[in-house]
A and B are shown apart, each in its own frame.
Chain A
Amino acid sequence: MPEVLKAPLVVAFPFTRSLGPVQSAFLTGLRERVVLGVRTTDGRTLVPPVEYDPVTAEEIGELVEVAPTGTVTTWAWNPAPRRGQPLATPFAWVLVRLDGADTALLHALDAPGPHSVHTGMRVRVRWARERTGAITDIACFEPHEGGPGRPTGHSGAFGNPLTAIVTPARLDYTYTPGRAQSAYINALSERRTVGERCPSCHKVYVPPRGACPTCGLATAERVEVGPRGTVTTFCIVNIKAKNLDIEVPYVYAHIALDGADLALHARIGGIPYDQVRMGLRVEPVWTEDARYPDHYRPSGEPDADYETYRELL
């Protein structure tokens, strides 16, 4: 087994976000192939629209339809599209000032190559075939010859406006627990528990994280602890967790492994829940192929004296 571990870690989250009246109108509009802006206090039209005037901070909500055509105000050629971006083939990122708007919208431009794109070029919206009320209802922009396209004359009031959107996100990481935690995990694969001793206060931390939180020093000396330990404190769990096939009530306890100066937590089994007590001596129970003890059970030794674990509560 390698000394330092690493593993893929995916963080994915579908955020549900509520929409204010202006965002709701804009995104519902996209679903209906209508592009709406909002009028500011000083008469400018913002696309995409916001609910508060960026200069005065006043609440604004006067919707104005703009054309689905516009002018590129700046661009950048993207030769290698990344996951989630609007087009899978090379494209230009563009800021587009739609005809009738005073500000620019960020999106993608489908064009054959960087030499066919320039600031000031005319473009039009290409609508997505299936639209849900999202910025991606604009599939992308495409080159457009000529003047402003025709607005639909929409008022901005829709029969069934969106009130929320779901924005899924996914990020891929490589998790690396570092030197100290790798050693801990590697030892567990041999059914051993290792901690690390602080060079200054000599406390043994389990699981080790590489630092003594009291002294702020690196903990370097590896120390094997356990396998037996003492229950320092416990609670009785009466509510069954989702997807957990452990019968309630059961006991969850802090266990000071022999030689450790910090208690781990684990489930206690092999004894009726109402007979678990402080000072109970326990030992780990491993199940086949497990990466950590399934639970701890009484070791059969006499209870530990309170004085031996009072500092570890």
Chain B
Amino acid sequence: MTGEEAPTPRDVAVVAFAQTEHRRSTEESSEVEMLMPVLHEVLARTGLKAADIGFTCSGSSDYLAGRAFSFTLALDGVGAWPPISESHVEADGAWALYEAWTKLLTTDADTALVYSYGTSSSGSIRDVLTRQLDPYYLAPLWPDAVALAALQAQALVDAGDTDETALAAVGARSRADATANPHAQLTGNVPQGDYVVRPLRTGDCPPVSDGAAAVILAAGERARELCERPAWIRGIDHRIEAHALGVRDLTDSPSARLAAEHAGAFERPVDTAELHAPFSSQEVILRKALRLDGSVRVNPSGGALAANPVMAAGLIRIGEAAARIHSGESDRALAHATSGPCLQQNLVAVLEGDPR
């Protein structure tokens, strides 16, 4: 160590966001056909061309498509020839954004395009997600994503943190808010329905969605050139906890809390939070872990209960939070993404607009 202070890291902002109208099925399109309009839209918002982008990073999963290296075909949509600086994460696009953010911090690039997509309709998403489980003790039992979320929801009910009425209210509020979101799939008065896996009913579960999203990041002055009110990323962190559900306290999310703390979320209050909570019960847990009280506007987009394109739903939370800063509806927003069973992995970003 030289004792010298590290140089101040450059400021990086989300300067543009675009997403598809999320739908139950996009079988008339290939993935790249679904994705391309979103890429064109996000570039058009900044006036950038594909060739102007310094770094490109995408998130998707072969298990959704049922094909190996499926992301390579989607690359046609970004104009990957002549060669570009590109990377891919087999994860939600929020984690691709994290990689792009670190790339911009290194000063290797001034702009980045981040996109992600998923076609949950290609297979049976409840079964597909069992393949992310531990292959020795869990996956052979095929416990589907709703079943695992339901175990977590019952633990919450037993702990007195919520009840079925309160869970139904989360779903109802999300879909009511989604009526103002032209991209949402489920909006308005959606029946709570029967139990899918008790205590979770249809209304507590996310729709099966196909969709895509894209974000452009830019550093420093470049961000101001490209966007009237950039959404500055003040911090991002992601944390993981034990995979085995029986080791964890399912009523809490210590990894989300720790990620928020390291992202600086607790330093000052936020006015908006976009939470990636595919199940109503998970919003209850996240509100507690992230210390969000009634003064914070939670999921004005409708959240994942209104549209859940797997692999894009987390990136969309960051995009939605940023869009609220772009439009002046928010000054300081928290965005959250999750992955794995029962909120195993959590990413938190804190976004701010310039003071007014």
A interface residue numbers (CB < 8 A to B): 4, 6, 9, 11, 15, 17, 19, 23, 27, 46-48, 50, 54, 73-79, 82-86, 93, 95, 97, 103-108, 114, 119, 134-136, 165, 167, 169, 171-181, 209-218
Assembly CA distance A10 to B210 (angstroms) = 20
CA distance A112 to B32 in the complex (A): 48
Q: Does chain A have a CB within 8 A of B92?
A: no
A171-B66, A179-B29 are known contacts. Are A76 and B147 too (CB-CB below 8 A)?
Answer: yes
Task: Given the known inter-chain contacts A103-B246, A171-B131, A172-B123, please indicate yes or no for A85 contacting B136, CB distance below 8 A.
Answer: no
Cα(A97)–Cα(B59), bound, Å: 37
B139 adjacent to A167 (CB under 8 Å): yes
Report the separation of the CA atoms of residues A190 and B244 in the bound assembly, to the nearest whole angstrom: 54
Q: Is the CB of B142 within 8 A of A84?
A: yes
What CA separation (Å) do A47 and B137 show in the bound complex? 10
The distance from the CB of B140 to the nearest CB of chain A, in whole angstroms, is: 5
Contacts of B131 in A (CB 8 A): 169, 171
Residues of B within 8 A of A218 (CB): 33, 36-37
Closest 10 CB pairs of A and B: A178-B30, A216-B79, A104-B246, A76-B150, A84-B142, A77-B198, A173-B66, A211-B76, A74-B155, A176-B27
**B-side interface residues, number (CB < 8 Å):** 62
| CB atoms of A180 and B246 under 8 A apart | no
Q: How far is the CA of A135 from the CA of B142 in the complex (A)?
A: 11
Query: Which of B29, B30, B66, B158 contacts A9 (CB under 8 A)?
Result: B66
Given A104-B245, A178-B28; 20 other pairs, CB 8 A cutoff: A9-B66, A46-B247, A48-B246, A79-B198, A84-B127, A84-B142, A86-B141, A119-B154, A135-B136, A171-B63, A175-B122, A178-B30, A178-B31, A179-B28, A179-B33, A180-B30, A181-B30, A210-B32, A213-B81, A216-B80
In the complex, which residues of chain B have a beta carbon less than 8 angstroms from the beta carbon of A171? 63, 66, 123-124, 127-128, 131
In the complex, the answer to whether B124 meets A172 with C-beta atoms within 8 Å is yes
Q: How far is the CA of A103 from the CA of B137 in the complex (A)?
A: 14
Residue numbers in B under 8 Å from A75 (CB-CB): 151, 154
Q: Which of B27, B81, B141 contacts A6 (CB 8 A)?
A: B27
Which residues of the other chain, B, contact A173 by a CB distance below 8 angstroms? 65-66, 122-123
Supposing A93-B143, A95-B151, A210-B32 touch, asked if A74 and B158 sit within 8 A by C-beta, the answer is: yes
- B182 interface residue (CB < 8 Å to A): no
The answer to whether B138 touches A106, judged by C-beta atoms less than 8 angstroms apart, is: yes
Interface string of B291-314 (1 = CB under 8 A from A): 000000000000000000000000
Smallest Cβ distance from B90 to chain A, in angstroms? 16
Instruction: Scan B27-66; emit 1 where CB is below 8 A from any A CB, else 0.
Output: 1111111001101100000000010000000000001011
Using a CB-CB cutoff of 8 Å, which residues 220-253 of chain B contact chain A? Answer: 242, 244-247, 250
B36 in contact with A216 (CB, 8 Å): yes
Q: Considering the chains assembled together, what is the distance between the CA atoms of A8 and B250 in angstroms? A: 37
Contact A76 B199 (CB under 8 A): yes
Instruction: Verify if B126 is at the interface (C-beta below 8 Å from A).
Output: yes
**CA of A79 to CA of B80, assembled, Å:** 48
Residue of A19, A76, A83, A167 near B153 (CB, 8 A) is A76
Q: Is the CB of B63 within 8 A of A136?
A: no
